[in-house]
Amino acid sequence: MMELKNSRIDKKELRGDALEVLAENLEFCGNPGLSLAFRRAASVLKSLPDAPRRLEETQHLPCLGEHSRAIIEEISEYGSCSRVEEILNDERYRTMKLFSSVFGVGPKTAENWFCRGLRTFEQVLNDPSIRLNRMQTAGFLFYEDISKPVSRTEAIALKIIVEEAVTSVIPSASVSITGGFRRGKEFGHDVDFIIKTPEAGQEDSILPAVIERFKRQSILLYSDLQESTFDLRQLPTHRFEAMDHFSKCFLIVKLKGEQETGRDWRAVRVDLVAPPLERYAYALLGWTGSMLFERDLRRFARLERGKLLDHHALYDKATNTFLSANTEEDIFTHLGLEYIEPWQRNA
């Protein structure tokens, strides 16, 4: 029996996947605090070059709390963790995971559908009392394509398309990849771009112009444009804000190219952000992620340096001033840190 169980030891589980299941389940249950603890622990395990094989090998690692260690111990001893197996088989977890995998469906909507007794996409789509919003409609329509990871090659092809659109409107503007691809990841769930415009005000007009162009090129499948609500007078904020106030848009675009399905295009999720020039470095840092890295950097700034950092600015509480930055390097210097390369920000 023991041997049988041991033979099931899955390297992935000791790499943090089991902890991610726990984190996800806690998010679905409305416990973001404990969820974050498991996410951190999972991220530490994932950042190791080799998965630890025994509990002792994790002794020196940071961010592994009592809960996480107990899970790792159980997996290294028995090959699996009963709590994790339980969650993976739990109807609520499975349904929440399925529903929230749709673009535009958050945990609240997923829970609402689950509580109505719905368990499959078919049931959701055939329920006359459910009205999908525009985002969810697009989410179901392009579900298969946008659930498929985007490769680096596809991201580079998209960069050319975005660049062409941006520079056709403002020749001196530039486009950079941010998000996971900037951190060196080979695959992502979307492609994130940041646009640098040289003159004040251009950041507000560039995105509508790009959207128009994509429409004319018949490659726009969905767009949600969010105008800037940025106002320096409302900073700094102590809250960790999920979203920044810059002008941005969430798109689904057609990327041409032979597909396994035989089609000659696929749908891809693309995010564009256009901050004012003097906010560019902060926006770039914020959009490069990872989410956990951003959180930790802000925490460090606040607790160790008495400074408030967010997507928009860095505020020094000692002098009551905003610190200006032209580059990411400037921001790290303000924080008394050596430059951290994007590929080192994956944890």
Q: Is 127 a catalytic residue?
A: no
The DSSP symbol for 140 reads H
What the block records as the tokens of 137 is 């409609």
The number of beta carbons lying within 10 Å of the beta carbon of residue 4 is 8
Q: Is 190 a catalytic residue?
A: yes
Residue 296 assigned to a binding site = no
What the block records as the tokens of 93 is 């977890």
**Site membership for ligand DCT, residue 104 (CB under 6 A):** no
**Site membership for ligand DCT, residue 226 (CB under 6 A):** no
Give the binding range for Mg ion (CB under 5 A) out of 10-18, 107-115, 186-194, 241-249. Answer: 186-194
Task: Considering only residues 191 through 210, tell me which ones interact with Mg ion, judged by CB under 5 A.
Answer: 192
Give the nearer residue to Mg ion in terms of CB position, either 27 or 190: 190
Residue 104, C-beta contacts closer than 8 angstroms, at least 6 positions apart: 132, 133, 134, 135, 136, 137, 138, 139
Single out the residue of 104, 139, 276, 286 in contact with ligand DCT (rule: CB under 6 A): 286
Long-range contact pairs involving 205-208 (C-beta distance under 8 Å, separation at least 24) = 205/169, 206/166, 206/169, 206/170, 206/173, 206/247, 206/274, 207/247, 207/248, 207/249, 207/272, 207/274
Give the binding range for ligand DCT (CB under 6 A) out of 51-59, 181-189, 223-231, 318-326. Answer: 181-189
Residue in this structure with the two tokens 């030891």, named with its chain if needed = 9
Give the nearer residue to ligand DCT in terms of CB position, either 43 or 76: 43
Amino acid at 330: D
Single out the residue of 290, 296, 322, 330 in contact with ligand DCT (rule: CB under 6 A): 290
Residue 271 assigned to a binding site = yes
Task: Considering only residues 120 through 179, tell me which ones interact with Mg ion, judged by CB under 5 A.
Answer: 179
Residue 230, C-beta contacts closer than 8 angstroms, at least 6 positions apart: 244, 245, 246, 247, 275, 276, 279, 312
280 binds, among ligand DCT, Mg ion, none (CB under 5 to 8 A by kind): none
Q: Which residue number is nearest to Mg ion in terms of Cβ?
A: 179
Give the binding range for ligand DCT (CB under 6 A) out of 32-40, 178-186, 199-207, 256-264. Answer: 178-186
CA dist 156 → 66, 187, 269 (Å): 42, 12, 14
Q: Which of 90, 204, 271, 296 is catalytic?
A: 271
104 binds, among ligand DCT, Mg ion, none (CB under 5 to 8 A by kind): none
Q: Is 330 a catalytic residue?
A: no
Single out the residue of 190, 294, 310, 328 in contact with Mg ion (rule: CB under 5 A): 190
What the block records as the tokens of 50 is 């080799």
Single out the residue of 20, 24, 203, 294 in contact with ligand DCT (rule: CB under 6 A): 294
Single out the residue of 65, 278, 291, 317 in contact with ligand DCT (rule: CB under 6 A): 291
Q: Is the dihedral of CA 323, 228, 198, 288 positive or negative?
A: positive
305-310-313-317 Cα dihedral, nearest 10 degrees: -30
The DSSP symbol for 128 reads T
Chain residues in the site for ligand DCT (CB under 6 A): 179-180, 185, 188-190, 192, 242-243, 286-287, 289-291, 294
Q: Which residues are catalytic?
A: 190, 192, 271
Chain residues in the site for Mg ion (CB under 5 A): 179-180, 188, 190, 192
